[in-house]
Structure 1
Amino acid sequence: MAVTVETLEKLERKISLSLPVTVIQSEVDARLKKMARTVKMDGFRPGKVPMNVVAQRYGYSVQYEVMNDKVGEAFALAANEAKVRVAGQPRISEKEGAPEGELAFDAIFEVYPEVKLGDLSAATVEKLSAEVTEEAIDKTVDILRKQRRTFSQRPAAEAAIDGDRVTVDFEGKIDGEVFSGGKAADFQFLVGEGQMLKEFEEAVRGMKNGESKTFPLSFPADYQGQDVAGKTADFLVTVKKIEAAHLPEVNEALAKSLGIADASVEGLRADIRKNLEREVKFRLLGRNKQAAMNALVEKAELDLPNSVVQSEIERLKEGARADLKQRGIKDADKAPIPDDIFRPQAESRVRLGLVVAELVKANTLNATEAQIKAHIEELASSYERPDDVVRWYYSDNQRMSEVEAVVIETNVADFIMSKAKVTEKTISFDELMGQQA
């Protein structure tokens, strides 16, 4: 088979293929004969259907399958002989003018690009660090206490304050009409915890049981309910019950209720510190890894194969449809999603993947068995039965591949940090965790 490779533009190539008609027909005949031994048709016993009847019924579909298989095989052999790295699926079309007894095809495809890695010594990477403070532990203790709080009804003379649980009826109108979701009865929320819009909380704060109040509420322009976003509504709210919150004391009983082995206040705080330090470590690793990857990509030069980008776009779209379906959106799997929504993200992912793969190959940064084992054991250490978690990872090849990918990313980030100019920056625990100070 003669192989000719033509460069069309950038990464696009074309290979001309030819196949003898006899090869196609021979394979079609062989498959039809095999099919005839088991095919069932009305009026014939199994295995006794005449070949001409089998060919008439199934000949076209078998011919189509054989053509696809044989042309695919021919393309794979030609690409291998030409030593081209094919990116994505080729577009194969039959062409006219082939010599008698042959079929001719054009296969248009893309190749993976040459990746030029930049000089990492000229790159600058900001490396973050953070510590778990006593204040962070205090905040976590408060969160745990709030998760276990109880409520008791306030006396009628007492007004609602922050932390109280209130039960209200409300009705909101825009231009005199009640809007969808603007009316509720026996609705509960906690005052001062951001569960409602600021104007709503401010209106209820200070009200007493049985009181009613009208007030205007302006919905933000980016409010999730598009029908009311950017509009102002008039609300009527009536308080039906006010309950004061009671937080559990920070003592041995609280520690015991949380399953702390050392059921003491000191044991509780030590356990919280351990868990927060683990979370801080992984968050810092993620942030610093991303900074290193950004520096790597910024210094690299390459063209992106459109076919690979398109495959990534389709994968992202399928993920979006699955998410919509999980949220109960009707016909989510049929929802039209424009490619442009995901194109920047897809291009970024493909670019990073190609550059990282080149760096790994050039510097032998593959994950070792010892690294994979250590990473799995670290992940498992936060669970009650770590040995079971370790076995869970090792029992599935997909999970092991995901761990291997994470380890490789860490190797890459460490390598970049060792070559680049690294600037150290300490940030607060709240900033790292995305909390309000």
Structure 2
Amino acid sequence: MNAGLLIIILLLGLALLGFPIYIALGIGALAALNLADLPLIVLPQRMFAGMNGSALLAIPFFILAGNIMSRSITGKLIDICNAIIGHIKGSLSLVTILASALFGAISGSGVATASAIGGITIPAMKREGYPAPFAVGVASISSILGPIIPPSIVLIVYASITNVSVAELFLGSVLPGIILAVALIAYGLYYGHKHNLPAHEKPNLRKIGSSVRKGIWALLMPIIILGGIFGGIFTPTEASAVAVVYSLIISLFVYKDMSFKELPQVFVEGAVSTATIMVMVGLSSASSYVITTSGLPQQLVSFFSSITNSPVVILLLLNILFLIIGMLMEANAAVVMMTPILLPLLNAFGIDLLQFGIVMSFNLCIGLVTPPVGLCLLLCNQTGETRLSHSLKAMMPMLLISIIVLFLITYVSPLTTLLPSIMAG
């Protein structure tokens, strides 16, 4: 048996049995090394090489910034959104979507977005009489905006493998993120009017101004971070450090709703999350090395070439593949695992690596709300205290919208390449 194929079989099999992804990756890598008669020293060597990338330095900082935000700045973002659109029927669902987009513009994490935003808005929606499954569904699907709208941890991992510019990937993901957010808001408006969901009293300009004034420092955070990256003031890695410093200053000294006593717990949680991702990245790098040296990517190119010579069909097949993988595997692990396998295929069919990175990231983020993994769906469902099947049913129209947007950005390339080309020009 091909050593690379053995890794994939063991990974999927052990994941379905409930093994953590990093353990499944480790077992698969060791078994493949033994099958290929490669020295076991390859495992730690490739793990270190996989984690030794400057772009990956941004991951712990963005995670830490998200943890700090969830204790302080998140509430201010929600208050601003609620003040502006609270008079619309079903406004809390729209607030959830907008706040998730703003939160995602700093944290880059879907799970952090689901916890920080959904943890506040799901109970609020239930108190106002929203159906619990719908509250869970809209918070779950909105959380995927976190890793889609820049900065995105998934795109940082992809950039570390392909050497595509992180800044260009961030620019390319702006329009897809906005399109998805607008589409979800449109559905929220339709659902709110159809089911006559409650609306708050229409606020006057004084109330809106008061909310914006109180939350201006929170609102400035994504503007500073993304503006700095796209304006060339600092790199994405430097931006992640700026995000941490800014969020600490605002939380501790401006809003003063976080104390120094909470910092150790915040740092520990950030360290654990970072370690989890980095171990998966390292083990995935080792596994990818074995897969590449086994010749499996070349066999994959030959197989697809025998089926079709159309990039359109290839992209369709890859999207279907990643929708399935997203149900079974954590997004960052999937990116590190599959990208080296697919690079020869992408090059052979002339598929743009920038566009494909955004499409793959978008696709795998949908996996955050699709069982059996579906971490964001499970987290929001736990918060909403309702049956998972009911939440999944309520989320289905929004999931379909997400898939439609996925295929839109797959086949309309300017949606991902226009902004990077404009900035490059």
Provide TM-score, normalisation by structure 2.
Answer: 0.24
Provide TM-score, normalisation by structure 1.
Answer: 0.23
Q: Of the two, which has the highest radius of gyration?
A: 1
- The structure where strand makes up a greater share of residues is 1
